[in-house]
Structure 1
Amino acid sequence: MTKKIAIIGASGYTGAELIRLISSHPGMEIAALAANSKAGQTMDQVFPFLRHLDLPQLVTWEQIDFTQIDLCFCALPHKTSQEVISQLPGDMKIVDLSADFRLRDPQAYKKWYGNDHAAVEMQKEAVYGLTEFYRDEIKGARLVAGTGCNAATGQFSLRPLISAGVIGLDDIILDMKCAVSGAGRSLKENLLHAELSEGYNAYAVGGTHRHQGEFDQEFSLLAGRPVQIQFTPHLLPVNRGILSTGYVSGDAQAVHDTFAKAYADEPFIQVLPFGQTPSTHDVRGSNFVHIGVTGDRIQGRAIVVTALDNLCKGSSGQALQNANLMLGLGETEGLMMAPLFP
């Protein structure tokens, strides 16, 4: 039976990406689309690239009849998301793409996002949505919290290595290059074409990026002790993609072997031959992750380069992968499209 899907926040980049993916999904039908600021408009007015699809008109989320919905994606900003989700039916399956349910500790949420959590009981219920590592929990979850796109990239780069104990934990560095779509669709002065193009800059320098909270939470849980990494993101004048370069202490061949073993059966994660590194071009528009490992001229150091599409595997593709599991569908359904190149 085809599952009926609602998307709240359909007028943003992640909402549009969800529509793009679900439109060719064999087991899902988009039954409701909400975007309060654009309610009453059609999707082709908001996103002309979707005009070939027969989609519901945009409404406010309060107008949706959730008794007819099997699963709801919530693609709203943090703080707004928790306010809306707390008012949805208590038995509704939800995949949240915001930051509101990623951090298990309410005090950690307040530290990184600047406000008290307004749905603490639901925060306790949420399952962290990094599919490859929380697959069993996601299958039985009612509420799944999608990861941050930078947080997902960094965790694909480091989780197997921390679990296997093949790298040092006190000198990990992640240098990450991020596409502008990761900042969302809202108008921001620094993202104007004249301000952004032909330039390249670091931001949230010194460990202030909010996704650092996810790194602290997940890596410390894995290691059984506090782990803090150095992480600096950089904004690139490109539309899609994240490229992470990780610097770790450990034997490079052992690092590569660990990845090869950990990801051998993962349909979306490709470990490149030793010495090769990926490009964001290799994964653009897809749900794939490419990971490369090389040694450094300094003995005992390894370099891990990871590429993924921030809007797909880093957000909406991951959300659909989780929804497939929650609805008892094939995990890869609607997600095996080849990357777009060039």
Structure 2
Amino acid sequence: MNVGHAAPTDQEMARAAGVLKVISDTYSAKMVGQERLRTSLLISLIADGHILLESVPGLAKTTAASTLAATVQAQFKRIQCTPDLLPSDITGNQIYDNSSGSFRTVLGPVHANFVLLDEINRSSAKTQSAMLEAMQEHQTTIGGEIYPLPEPFLVIATQNPIEQEGTYELPEAQMDRFLLKEIVEYPSPNEELEVLNRIDSGVLGRGSEGHVASVVSLDDVKMLQDIASRIYVDAAVRNYIVSLVYVTRNPAPYIGEEKARYLKYGASPRASIAFLQAARAYALLSGRSYVVPEDVRSLRHVVLRHRVLLTFEAQAENIRSEEIIDAIFAAVPTP
């Protein structure tokens, strides 16, 4: 039901599969484990969205972002967020040029294809707002002039859940602008051993990100985005998505009063849009030209965990958002 858009051809699907295999193989040659992180990054890239990563330090989030950027021949910028970071430090500023007697515009690091916002919750609310506006509008305004951001444009923001001193928690409305939120977990013992072996072999180590071969062009990425936008989504799957998001707002009749009391707010319509876009990207990653309900189910945590807001009581009782999300999916019939 993609009105006005031709469904992907077999040739297009085959070409997309080839590009995705090259990206995945190159990524895996550099990264150890973290398959879920790779999938979420690729979904965000293909769906033209942004991703929020949460984990303790040292789990290769920066390496993952820079490796993916190098693989697809994209411009990569890393911004270390601190409380004294100004909006102009991200978007850009006008600087007076003595030689010409006029102001010239210097674009900030957000003007790149891949932007890593390290510890976004350490930047002030004003700076967060400026960055999230750029994410939403795909442009910045400097000295009254509008400067479009490059395409494709992917923001990978990270936050550390264990250190709260000197941090500014992202408001719910701003969290909603991230297509996905992924929790990056510790590697298994075998994966950690492989990390040590790769360091000894020189595959990993200081400055090694730059040695990743650029194997895919930005035009290939745009091709993936175009094909994904034409992936078929049946009316039954669309109704399934809307029903799931509706239950997050009206949970009691479906999951019972006991669990419903843990829910403070449900998801906005952005959740339905995110499910639609991410499911199409996930289907393409799976080699299909159509979305199945299991695609939506597989994405339930990354799409909803930052959109389903729990009460203080839930936090006090150590109830996780994933538990409530699972209960909602169990209550809604799968088409």
TM-score class, shorter-chain normalisation, is: under 0.3
Which has more strand, going by share of residues?
1
Higher helix share: 2
Structure with bigger RCO (C-alpha 8 Å, 6+ apart): 2
TM-score normalized with structure 1 length: 0.25
* Structure with larger Rg: 2
